[in-house]
Amino acid sequence: MPDLAYLNGEIMPIEAAMIPIEDRGYQFGDGVYEFVASYEGRLFMLEEHLDRLERSMRELAYEPISRTDIKNAVLELFKASGYLRAGIYIQISRGVAPRNHAYTKKMLPQIIMTIRPVKDMPAEIRENGAKAITVEDMRWGRCDTKTIQLLANSMAKQKALDSGCDDAIFITDSGIVREGTSSNLFIVAGGKLATHPLTPNILAGITRMAVLSICKEAGLEATESFFDTNALYAANEVFLTGTVTEILPVVRIDDNIIGDGKVGVITQQVYDLLKKKAMG
């Protein structure tokens, strides 16, 4: 079975899916997206992903699209693939029109999806932890809207890889810690977890949401609060959260060893609880 794509109502081999050159997603980055993963043939937190997709479209003043139609398309594509552990990428652009910064209100959106097997994080990184660098946050001011404008994220990720690290962590010019290039960030200090509050400066991660819920159920204290690089470097544990990232322990940031340089007990506990939740 080849990897499949969905393009405006039609399922086809991914190589056959093409979009017009004047699609505003291509011309202006005028598009929103989601990525949904499955575990053992069950899509995880699909409704929450659709909630966020609808919010992103509202924030960019898109014409309404039927949530039911999008959900049915996701389920149809997922079923057609036959994959048990899959990742579905959903992208919606404002539509196609002659290139102009301004846009008309009645454009037909382009709805694109692709599905592939999920490439899980290598076991070595899960067991030994990841390395990260910090970079100044140069992204636009609405990171809470999940748009396809990811150039700053891509450049930061590449800088991390070129530095021999696994990811980059965005910080402000005053040292406030934001999030990773495609993930939210938690620290553990004194047995308590903390993550950046929901503001326009970070994305409301679905896995972040799941982790906060898990912590409440498990009796782990988790707060949404601002913290700086001093707190980051001094933390007992640090981990990143994301749909594919799941729970990724970070044991070295810049030139600083986090805790004892090993995957922390609370990080492992949260990871185990997340996997249990995802497996149903």
Helix%, strand%, coil% for the chain, nearest 5: 30, 30, 40
Burial 152-180 (b: 16+ CB within 10 A, else e): bbeebbeebeeeebbbbbbbeeeebbbbb
267 three-class SS: helix
Q: How wide is the angle at C-alpha 46 spanned by C-alphas 13 and 72, nearest 5°?
A: 55
Cα 227 to Cα 195, 206, 258, distances in angstroms: 8, 21, 15
Judge contact between 223 and 194, C-beta under 8 A.
yes
192 catalytic? Reply is no
220 three-class SS: coil
Judge contact between 264 and 249, C-beta under 8 A.
yes
Structure letter (DSSP) for residue 14: G
Alpha carbon distance 131, 211 (integer Å): 21
The pair of structure tokens assigned to 254 is 């810049």
Alpha carbon distance 193, 223 (integer Å): 6
Active-site position among 146, 192, 262, 276: 146
The pair of structure tokens assigned to 67 is 């949530």
Q: Which residues contact 51 (CB under 8 A, 6 or more apart)?
A: none
Write out the catalytic residue numbers.
Answer: 146
